[in-house]
Structure 1
C-alpha cells in the first residue's frame, strides 16, 4: 500500500510540473481589440528573444506522449467560413499573419471575399463610388480617354482597360458619351479586369452585352457591348490583357483596395503590425519580433522620402502590390504606348495609419466580422510616381491634382448646364447633388433636407494622376 501511494504522488507531481511548463511556454504578444495601434511597452519587453527564467522544478518531464485536443472542440462555433479560414491560417502557420494577408483574404477570398459574391456598391450596398453618383463622371473620363487617343495619333486599335470596374457603370457612361465619335469607338477593344463572378454579370448587363457565335465552328464566341458595338472581354489580372496594341488604363478606386503592410515605431525600431488570435479566439494586433519581408518595401519607401517627413511618424503604411502594379503599367505603356489614369482618395506623401473598414456606409472596427465590411487605405500617390519613374524611362507622370480640378478642366460645368436645360425638378435636384459630390468640398450649401443626409463633396479628397508614354506629350488637363 505504501509503495502504491508513493507512485500515485509521484504521478501527480509529474502532471502538475508538465502543466506549469506548458503554460509558461505560451507565445506572448501584446494586443488591442479596438485599435490598430499596438502599445510597445507590452510587446517589446516580451519579445521572443528575451531569455526566460529557468523553472525551479528539478524533475525531468517527458511531454512527448501528452495529448493536445483542439480548443473548444466540444462546443459549437458561430464563426463564419472566412473567420474559420483566417484562424486556420494562423494556427497552421504557428504565428500571426500580416495585415496585408488579412486584407487580401477578407476582400478577395474565392469563396467568401467581400467583393467576390455580391454587389457592394450604391445606396443599397456598403459605399457609393463616383460613377454611381452621377453619369457625368463617366462622361468626363470618356472626354479624357478620347483626348489621349487623339494625342496618340488616333490608332486603329486600342486596348481600353478598366481595373476593378465595379458594376461597369463608368464604362457604360463613357461609351454612351462618346458613341457619336465612330472612329474612336471602332478602335476600342474593352478589357475588364475583374475577379468577382457576381460583378462580372452586372458588368455584362450594364454594358448591354450580347454574346455572338463565331462565323465558323472553330471561332470562339465574342462578347459585344451593344452601346457602341465594341468587343468586351474579362480577365482576372492585367497580365492576361493582350499586349502589342496601345493601351489606355483606367484605375478608379482600385489602388485603395490593394493590401497594405503596416509598420509601427517601437523602442527597437520599425516593427510590422501583424494579426493573431487570442486565447479566447478573438483577433488582435501584435508586433513582429523580427524584420519581415515587407521591410524591404518600407526601406524603399523611406529612401524616397525626406528625413523630416519620416521624423514625426509613429506609423507607416506601404503597399507592395501598388508599387508592383505601377511598374507593370509603366512597362506596358512604355512598350506599347498609351496611358493610365488613376483616381482615388489618398495623399501625395507617405501614408501613416489610414486603413479603415466600412459596412453599410458606416465605419466599423477593422477586425470585426471579417468579410462583412470593405477594407481600404489611402493611396500613396508619391510612391506611385517614384515606382513609375524608377522602373521606366519611357513614361512620364503627371499630377496629382484634385478631382475637382480634373473634372472642371474637362468641362463638367458646361455638361451640367446642358443637362439642367431639359429636365424635371426632381432630375435637377439629383444632378445638383451629384455634381456637388463630385467636385464640392464639405457639405452642400444648397441642401435643405436632414443634416445626416446632406451630400458631402469629395472634390478635394480624391486625387487624379496620369502615367503616359513620353512620346505623346502632356495629357489633358495636366498641362
Structure 2
C-alpha cells in the first residue's frame, strides 16, 4: 500500500472531475474557510502566539488557500508548511499558496513555536496491516504476486495476545486492521504540540476502534475498484481508527477531544450562515451552494469524523464539546 500510493501520488493530480476522487475542499470554499476560522479562533484564545500553520497531504492546496484567506481576515498570517512528497502536487500547491515551505515528513517541522496542524483525508492513505482469522487462529494478511497478478493470502499465525480481547473469538474470515504508520505520525505530532503548544485537527472517514472489518479500498475514476489490480495507478485508502489515534496522542502527553462527525463540526462552525452569505452574494449559484452545504454536512458529514489533539496549556477548540 505504501509503495503503490507513493507512485500514485508522485505521478499525477488525482483530484477533480478528470481525476479519481474529490475531497471536501474541492467541493466548496466553505470547508477551507471554516477550517481557517477554527484555527484563527483557537490562536486568538491561546493569546495570539507566533505559530506555524501546517497541512499534511494538502492536495492541490485548495484547503490551504481558503484557510489562509479566512485566517488573514481574522488577523492571523502565519508561515505555511506543507508535508507533501509529490512533485506534481507541490507544483499545484505553490501556485495557490506562494511562499509555503515543504517537508517530506513531520520530523522536520518547526520546533521553535506552536504548531496548528490540519490533516484532512491524510491518515486514510497511510499503509495498514491486516490480521485475518483463519481456522483457530489469527494470521497476518499478505499479498502474493504471480505473473503480475496480486492477491491477498494468509501468512504465518500471530499470537492471540496482540488481538484485542473482545475480538479474539471473532468468526473465521474476520479481519482487523492496524496502521503503525498512522500511530507513528500522530505520536510525533502530539509530542511536538505537547512541548511547543498548538493543536492538530484530523478529519477523515473512519470509526472508533478496535473493530472487525476490511476497509481497504481503491478508487479509480470516481468508482470503487479492486485494490489488488494495477497497483500504483489507483488510490488506495482504509478507514481511520480515531480511537487509536487519540490513544497515541494521549501517550505523548497531549489532550484529545471526543470524536465527532464532520457535519457536526461544520454546523457548529457556522456553515449555514456562510452558505447564506454566499448565496445572497450570488443568487444564481444559491441552489449549488445549498447542495454543496448538504453534501458536506449530510451523508459525508456522518461518514467523515473529526478529532482534535490539543496542547495541555491551550484552550478547547471550537466545535468540540
Which SS does the other structure have where 1:354 is aligned?
coil
**Are 2:3 and 1:105 equivalent residues in the alignment?**
yes
Contact in 1 for aligned 2:14/2:20 (Cα 8 Å): yes
Distance 1:402 1:470 in 2: 23
Gaps spanning 5+ residues in structure 2: where? none
Contact in 1 for aligned 2:149/2:229 (Cα 8 Å): no
**Are 2:270 and 1:411 equivalent residues in the alignment?**
yes
What's the offset of the Cα at 1:310? 5.2
**Are 2:137 and 1:269 equivalent residues in the alignment?**
yes
- Off by >4 Å, runs of 4+ in structure 1: none
Q: Which residue does the alignment assign to 1:175?
A: 68
Which SS does the other structure have where 1:341 is aligned?
strand
Distance 1:250 1:196 in 2: 18
Distance 1:140 1:345 in 2: 19
Give deviations 1:373-420, integer Å, cap 9, x for gaps.
Answer: 10000000111111111x223x11002100110000001111111111
What's the offset of the Cα at 1:309? 5.1
The 1:386–1:310 alpha-carbon spacing in structure 2 relative to 1, beyond 3 Å, is farther
Contact in 1 for aligned 2:132/2:139 (Cα 8 Å): yes
The 1:310–1:388 alpha-carbon spacing in structure 2 relative to 1, beyond 3 Å, is farther
- The equivalent position to 2:280 in structure 1, one of 406, 414, 421, is 421
Gaps spanning 5+ residues in structure 1: where? 1-102, 210-223, 225-231, 442-457
Q: Which residue does the alignment assign to 1:53?
A: none
What's the offset of the Cα at 1:241? 1.2
Q: Which residue does the alignment assign to 2:110?
A: 242
Distance 1:419 1:354 in 2: 37
What's the offset of the Cα at 1:290? 4.5
Q: Which residue does the alignment assign to 2:319?
A: 477
**Are 2:156 and 1:289 equivalent residues in the alignment?**
yes
- Which structure's CA Rg is the greater one? 1
Q: Which residue does the alignment assign to 1:152?
A: 46
Give deviations 1:122-166, integer Å, cap 9, x for gaps.
Answer: 1111000000000000011011101110232111x2110100000
The 1:424–1:417 alpha-carbon spacing in structure 2 relative to 1, beyond 3 Å, is closer
Q: Which residue does the alignment assign to 1:430?
A: 288
Distance 1:311 1:438 in 2: 38
**Are 2:90 and 1:200 equivalent residues in the alignment?**
yes
Q: Which residue does the alignment assign to 1:115?
A: 9
- The equivalent position to 1:361 in structure 2, one of 222, 233, 245, is 222
Q: State the TM-score, normalizing by the size of structure 1.
A: 0.64
What's the offset of the Cα at 1:477? 1.4
Instruction: Kindly indicate whether structure 1 or structure 2 has the higher relative contact order, using CA contacts under 8 Å at least 6 residues apart.
Output: 2
Q: State the TM-score, normalizing by the size of structure 2.
A: 0.95
